[in-house]
Chain A
Amino acid sequence: MENIRLACQGIWGHKMRSFLTMLGIIIGIASIITIVSTIQGTNEQIKENLIGAGSNVVTVQLYDGEWPADFSYNPVPPQVRPIDDIMHQVLESLDGVDQVAFYTQRSWPDGVYVGSTSFSGTLYGIDDAFLNVESYRVLYGRCFQQSDYDNFRRVILLDKKAVNTLFPTTYPVGQVVEIKGEPFTVVGVVEQNNGFKPKISSMNDYQLYADTSSGAIFLPSVMWASVYQFDEPQNVAVKATSTDDMTLAGQNVADALTASQIISTGQPMASDDGMGMDDSNMAVPEGDTVGEEVTAPEGYSYQSEDLLKQAQQLQEMSSATNQQLIWVACISLLVGGIGVMNIMLVSVTERTSEIGLKKALGAKKRRIRRQFLTEAAVLTSLGGIVGVLLGIGLAQLISKTNGIPVAISIPAILVSVVFSILIGLLFGLLPAVKAANLNPIDALRRD
């Protein structure tokens, strides 16, 4: 304590010099805090925008090679088997999976009209679990009922955007939409329930997050065949048990589907296999072999469109560039540390007679060493604190002027301050040892 007080006195006694000494540390720490805050802010926003507010839903789709399979104009390939209803329970028993829903999907569907207005959104053929899994709620009218599925009723649900484009002026429920020449009656209007709106702050964000801008129309999955093809491969909406399990759940479902639904050309799967066999088939190859299958460019496979993974990739991209900036900032810290060492050496020389006197009066080496180490550490930690404040200020300024989001991270601040103290101890060591080893006679003689 006494040492810290003395150190503060010493620093206060040379305000200008101390400030200039600290400047290197201040700049280094400030840039690190600014960069880290920006990285964190960007990362959090990417994650938030992509994953949404905890809906935890991963989409598993059939891929043709590297791209999602599209059946708008292509026939259903023979090696892809339709998903049996029993798979529902099989998939839901997998690790990390809470619920699954099957659906078919067509973007920019042809032949969907209200009067002469064509619909350019997305058409979904959904099972009875879909709305629940994707957390839709009914705004007006009613939801699909079991009888709609049992009786092959021509009913549809619209989301709010579809209502805006198709029925801007009329009450939609009870109206008729023509799909491929057949009339479908609107029974309800639904809205996704998570209340999440991606934060769009740039053109890039807009392209990233803006998707079904013209809305969505939902029809019972059983009716899909009447407007499009029979046995079109279904997508799976997988609700994971938690956000962290999203990758696992998506991967498990994709592997299981690939193993059970794709008849690979090399080893055709017996069509009469019991589900028990399918079970074991999907459990065993998950580990190694499926990985190869998935990345194989030719052939079909189910893959999960993992938002968490996408978010991580985007985050890694932004971190990678910023990490280089952190190295630059570290170099400035190094330079700052050398500056501190330099000034401490000057200080030792200046105070030779003080050191000599203290040793004559009975101060041991340890005490002298500690005095100078403390002084260096106080100097750099002060620099660190000022740097943190400056960094926070800079980060806020950047977020105000450039619209880049920032998140001030407490761990980064603590690490910075501890790090600056360590720099003080490291670069103060040489001067302190030099001071402690001064011979009191020489030190007193020099005046």
Chain B
Amino acid sequence: MILELKHVYKDYLRGKEPVPVLQDICLSVEEGEYLAIMGPSGSGKTTLMNLIGCLDVPTSGEYLLDGKAVGELNDNALAELRNHYIGFVFQNFYLLPKMSAVDNVALPLLYAGVSQKERRERAIAALEAVGLGERINFLPNQLSGGQCQRVAIARAMVGNPKLLLADEPTGALDTASGNQIMEIFQQLSDQGMTIIMITHEPSIAACAGQTLHILDGQLLTGAENQEDCHEA
């Protein structure tokens, strides 16, 4: 069990009034699973991803990541957790525009305290793994959107995380580039990587081994993943 959410609620304050965004979410993900979470905008899927990605903590309920209770951690501990366990891929890539591809990829290793030489070696290896070995010194604005997203995947994978978290990874790409990204995800999944992907495109969700639907802050289907929690 890589991660487990038990009766998780998340409220946001609008003014002084709490607005429930997630209600009674129960979810458990095994190591090596490839999971897509679908839902319309406003359904709470981004909030769910923030919770899973340790960018936020639940209002109530319990979230265990690799056996650790995330809800009780402070900012710095959360940062460490993200650095070690989670690789992020965003819709808009979020590459630093003034850094070369290899420097962008090496960033998480910098925060992990890896030496400069090793950072560079591992970043180059990660870029080669996504087929960008010849463009390591390119700046993001010299790369196409698909290439940027591949740099972002390399950055997500460079620290050997336990979980790859992708938020609309193909949302800003044309179909061909999107398919390339999906191929890479498939390869990673085949290698045993746990992947959780958020999307609203059924064709993309279809690539995943399993799809969960979220609506109005509640998970609708995928009873398989909810079983343990509700039984317990």
Contact = CB atoms under 8 A, between A and B. Distances in A.
Nearest to A366: B76
A398 interface: no
A360 B167 CA distance: 13
Interface in A348-401: 353-354, 356-367
Interface in B19-57: 50, 53, 55-56
B82 A354 contact: no
Contacts of A114: none
Q: Is the interface of A mostly helix, strand, loop or mixed?
A: helix
Given A359-B79, A362-B108, A365-B75, A13 B55 contact: no
B1 interface: no
Contacts of B159: 362
Contacts of A334: none
Interface string B51-87: 0010110000000000000000001100110111000
A125 B111 CA distance: 86
B210 interface: no
Contacts of B117: none
A361 B155 contact: yes
Interface residues of B, number: 24
B111 A363 contact: yes
A438 to B, nearest CB: 11
B83 A362 contact: yes
Contacts of B9: none
B112 A364 contact: no
Given A364-B76, A364-B79, A444-B94, A2 B110 contact: yes
A214 B155 CA distance: 89
Given A353-B94, A354-B96, A360 B76 contact: no
A331 interface: no
Interface in A1-34: 2, 9-10, 13
B14 interface: no
A2 B114 CA distance: 13
Contacts of A444: 55, 90, 94
A447 B94 CA distance: 10
A9 B96 CA distance: 13
Given A13-B98, A444-B94, A361 B76 contact: no
A365 B82 CA distance: 13
A441 interface: yes
Contact of A360 (B88, B92, B110): B88
Contacts of A41: none
B107 interface: yes
B96 A360 contact: no
A364 B55 contact: no
A358 B79 CA distance: 10
Interface residues of A, number: 22
A10 B98 CA distance: 9
B148 to A, nearest CB: 13
A113 to B, nearest CB: 90
A364 B80 CA distance: 8
Contacts of B155: 361
Interface in B100-137: 107-108, 110-112
A354 B56 CA distance: 18
B111 A357 contact: no
A353 B159 CA distance: 21
Given A353-B94, A365-B76, A360 B112 contact: no
A405 interface: no
A360 B75 CA distance: 11
Contacts of A354: 96
B90 A358 contact: no
Interface string A435-447: 0000011001001
A13 B97 CA distance: 11
Interface string A418-444: 000000000000000000000011001
Contacts of B83: 361-362
A447 B92 contact: yes
A440 B75 CA distance: 10
Interface of A: 2, 9-10, 13, 353-354, 356-367, 440-441, 444, 447
20 contacts: A2-B110, A9-B98, A353-B94, A357-B94, A359-B79, A360-B53, A360-B88, A361-B107, A361-B155, A362-B83, A362-B159, A363-B79, A364-B111, A366-B76, A367-B111, A440-B55, A441-B55, A444-B55, A444-B90, A444-B94
Interface of B: 50, 53, 55-56, 75-76, 79-80, 82-84, 88, 90, 92, 94, 96, 98, 107-108, 110-112, 155, 159
Closest 9 CB pairs of A and B: A362-B83, A362-B111, A357-B94, A361-B108, A364-B79, A364-B76, A362-B82, A363-B111, A440-B55
Given A441-B55, A444-B94, 7 more contacts: A357-B94, A358-B111, A361-B155, A362-B79, A365-B75, A441-B50, A444-B90
